[in-house]
Structures are given as C-alpha cells and as structure tokens.
C-alpha cells in the first residue's frame, strides 16, 4: 500500500477532535501550538487527530493558550480516564 494511501486510511479511521477546527479558525498550526505548549509535535498531532488521549500537559495548558474551554477542544471519550485494561496496556 502506498504511503499516502496508508496515511489517508489511518486518518479516516481516527476522529478529528474539535481542537482541529479551533486551530484552523484561529489560523494556528499544530506545530506552532505544540512548541508554545512545550510538547512534542507528534504527541500533540496524535491528540488532535483523536489517535491518543491528550496528555496532562496538553489538557492543562491548551485551554489558556487558545482561550477555549477544555470540553470544547476534545471529545468526552478522549478526556475520560482510561479504563483499567487500557492503563495497563500503556505501561
């Protein structure tokens, strides 16, 4: 499978988080926001694409930076605490 087809498949399987639309409406890039937050770009991008839960730093710093409540940036399932089986699997 060509890399562009694989990328399209992976992104279609994920759920863009509301933060993605907020960043676009404010004219901000994910890379610039990641730098301002002090987090790795790939970590921030994964959270924005819904591939992973946002880290504690992202959850704490992003609302103040963007001026938007946390609940309006990420879906409820991504903000929920991981289930025990998920927490063990990530260790």
What per-residue confidence (pLDDT) applies to 16? Answer: 87
CATH number for the domain spanning 41: value is 1.10.260.40
**Whether 17 contacts 74, CB under 8 Å:** yes
Is the per-residue pLDDT at 91 higher than 90?
Answer: no
Structure confidence at residue 90 as a pLDDT band (50, 70, 90): low
Q: How many domains does the chain have?
A: 1
Host domain of residue 53: 3-89
For the stretch 1-35, pLDDT in tens is: 677 776 666 665 557 899 999 999 999 999 999 99
CB-based contact 29:66 (threshold 8 Å): no
Instruction: Give me the DSSP letters along 7-62.
Output: HHHHHHHS---HHHHHHHHHT--HHHHHHHHTS-HHHHHHHHTTSSPPPHHHHHHH
Per the prediction, the chain carries an average pLDDT of 87
Query: What average pLDDT does this structure show over 47-52?
Result: 92
């Amino acid at each position: 499978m060509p890399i562009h087809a694989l990328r399209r498949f992976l992104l279609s399987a994920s759920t863009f988080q509301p933060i993605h639309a907020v960043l676009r409406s404010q004219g901000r890039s994910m890379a610039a926001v990641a730098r301002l937050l002090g987090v790795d770009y790939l970590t921030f991008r994964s959270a924005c694409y819904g591939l992973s839960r946002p880290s504690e730093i992202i959850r704490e710093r992003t609302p103040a930076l963007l001026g938007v409540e946390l609940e309006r940036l990420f879906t409820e399932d991504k903000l929920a605490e991981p289930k025990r089986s998920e927490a063990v699997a990530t260790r």
